[in-house]
Structure 1
Amino acid sequence: MIVRTLEDALGSERLVRAENGNWQSVRLSLKEDRMGHSFNITTIFKGTKTHIHYKNHLETVYVISGNGRVETLSDGKMYDLKPGTVYLLNEHDEHYLYGGDEDMVVACVFDPPLSGREVHDEHGVYPADLD
């Protein structure tokens, strides 16, 4: 069994920050844990806009607190995000993620699992595997 706390992970290399300052992600479960997925608690900072296109990963996102919006680029649809909302990027959906008028905290599950060091490249993509 593996047990970690969010507080401990915040003070470790498991805290990853976007170079542009739009988000921070606490990587609670990673590839090395051999669970078949990874699990993050991510904060999307208010008033931000992030281009994301996970060509190599599927992601499920659950909104814990705060608010924001997600816009799918294929059809221009905009979805409001608030606590209790989940969205699934089941088709490697290219999208914009907007922070609302307060920071938004989300729980994210990735398949395949992240190694822990990933940040979005210039196209909004995480690499396939860093290990």
Structure 2
Amino acid sequence: MIVRTLAEANKTNRRVVSPDGNWESTRLLLKEDQMGFSFHMTTIYKGADFYMHYQNHLESVYCVSGKGEIENLADGKKHPIEPGTIYILDNHDKHILRAFEELTLACVFNPPVTGNEVHNAEGAYELDTEAV
């Protein structure tokens, strides 16, 4: 059994702040935990507007608080993000995430991340190929 608190994890290297200042993420469950997915609590700062394209991962995101929108770049549709909304990037969807207010998001990644990832130039996390 694994038991962690967000407060404790925030004091470790599981808390990652983006170099561009758009977000911070505390990775509560990582590849090393051998669960087959990772789980993160992520804050997207108010005013953030950035492109992402997870080419190597599938992601589900549940909004806990705040308001924003996600734009699907395949069809141009914009979807409001607010508490109680989930969006699922099931096709490695190219998208833009905008935070009209600070967003608190619960995120699940498959395959799991190792914990140190930040977005590359294409808006993706690199795929970790090392065995645990």
Give the SS at the match of 1:8: helix
1:118 corresponds in structure 2 to: 117
2:77 pairs with 1:77: yes
Identity over the aligned pairs, expressed in percent?
52
1:91 corresponds in structure 2 to: 91
Alpha-carbon distance, 1:130 to partner: 6.4
Please list the CA deviations of residues 49-81 of structure 1 after superposition, one character each: whole Å capped at 9, or x if unmatched: 111100000000000001110001111110000
Structure 1 segments (4+ residues) deviating >6 Å: none
Report the Cα distance in structure 2 between the residues aligned to 1:130 and 1:96, rounded to whole angstroms: 27
Please list the CA deviations of residues 96-124 of structure 1 after superposition, one character each: whole Å capped at 9, or x if unmatched: 01011x20000000000000011000110
Give the SS at the match of 1:19: coil
2:25 corresponds in structure 1 to: 25
Report the Cα distance in structure 2 between the residues aligned to 1:58 and 1:112, rounded to whole angstroms: 7
Q: TM-score, normalised by structure 2?
A: 0.96
2:44 pairs with 1:44: yes
1:5 corresponds in structure 2 to: 5
Q: TM-score, normalised by structure 1?
A: 0.97
Conservation of the 8 A alpha-carbon contact between 1:115 and 1:130: no
RMSD: 0.8
Report the Cα distance in structure 1 between the residues aligned to 2:57 and 2:64, rounded to whole angstroms: 22
Unmatched 5+ stretches in structure 2: none
Report the Cα distance in structure 2 between the residues aligned to 1:104 and 1:83, rounded to whole angstroms: 9
